[in-house]
Amino acid sequence: MAARLLFDVNFGRRQRKQRVYRHFHFEFDADEYQQRYRFSQETVQYLANLLKPKLCRPTMRSQSLVAIRQVEMALRYYATGDNMKTIGDTMGFHVSSVCRSVRDVSQALVDIAEDYIMWPTSADEINNIKRGFYSIAKFPGVIGAVDGTHVRIIGPSLHENVYVNREGYNSLNVQGICDHQGRFINVVAKWPGSNHDSFIFRESDVGAFLETYHRGIDRDGVLLGDGGYACTRYLLIPYLRPNSE
């Protein structure tokens, strides 16, 4: 016993359990892959390469999760909203790995969001978007299309009722404005599902900016929205009852 105490450095220490990843490797065709992750394999690889510096930090572990697996787990969670344990079981990862991946990928995307989601400010940017929309439907002066979408969430314990939308489930009402290529140029993701699209736009920074600084259709263009918004000098909505072409 004394010899063991003297020479066995591991005596009395809890043996570290070797970390084993049991992830499954599936071969999906292009359509199957996009159905599962909502993006093509090339796009997911692009995201993984983009986020890799933030996801693959130095570690003493012999088997750290590669960036693309973390991105796939996060995208699967975003796409389905499934229980994280279910996602882990179907992809071959422990629930803790799924949880960390969703957290880390989400934070990494937030960190770089301002580099990609930008409101057009220069005349060249504005005119390029106007030309793009005009080439689609011959509608002049458009710089963006705005709408809200309800993202389902688990109802919070505090003020849960304000998150219930008109369809009866808990959500955030997320406002997005896209350019002619479907790229986000503005996103507001903070309002409970009970809030109306028009209220969210009116309270948003971009709504306040346009209300104060809009210089007219010729210079700053207009946004297009649906009937859920108020028609203004900078946001046009459809005629409710058109009686001519």
Q: Which residue has the higher pLDDT, 22 or 166?
A: 166
Last residue of a domain, one of 68, 99, 114: 114
Q: What does the pLDDT look like over 193-230, one tens digit per residue?
A: 999 999 999 999 999 999 999 999 888 999 999 999 99
Last residue of a domain, one of 114, 140, 163: 114
Percentage above 90 pLDDT, the chain: 73
Tell me what the mean pLDDT of segment 49-54 comes to: 95
Domain-located, residue 65 = yes
Looking at residue 245, its pLDDT comes to 76
**Shared-domain flag, residues 123 and 203:** yes
Question: What would the two tokens of residue 9 be?
Answer: 């450095």
Q: What does the pLDDT look like over 99-113, one tens digit per residue?
A: 999 999 999 999 999
Looking at residue 60, its pLDDT comes to 53
Looking at residue 5, its pLDDT comes to 44
**The whole model's pTM is what?**
0.78
Residue tagged 């369809």 (tokens): 167
186 with 119: CB under 8 angstroms? Answer: yes
Looking at residue 125, its pLDDT comes to 95
Residue 7: pLDDT band (50, 70, 90) is very low
Percentage above 70 pLDDT, the chain: 87
Q: Which residue has the higher pLDDT, 169 or 62?
A: 169
Q: Which residue has the higher pLDDT, 217 or 4?
A: 217
Last residue of a domain, one of 88, 114, 140: 114
Domain-located, residue 185 = yes
70 with 55: CB under 8 angstroms? Answer: yes
**Shared-domain flag, residues 102 and 152:** no
**Shared-domain flag, residues 79 and 137:** no
**Which domain covers residue 103, as residue numbers?**
19-114
183, 185, 191, 193: CA torsion to nearest 10: -30
- Shortest CA distance to 167 belongs to which of 148, 146, 182? 148
Domain-located, residue 36 = yes
Looking at residue 24, its pLDDT comes to 54
Looking at residue 108, its pLDDT comes to 96
Mean pLDDT estimate for the chain: 88
Whether the pLDDT of residue 181 is over 70: the answer is: yes
- Shortest CA distance to 208 belongs to which of 235, 239, 183, 236? 235
Q: Which residue has the higher pLDDT, 180 or 154?
A: 180
**Shared-domain flag, residues 144 and 75:** no
Tell me what the mean pLDDT of segment 171-193 comes to: 97
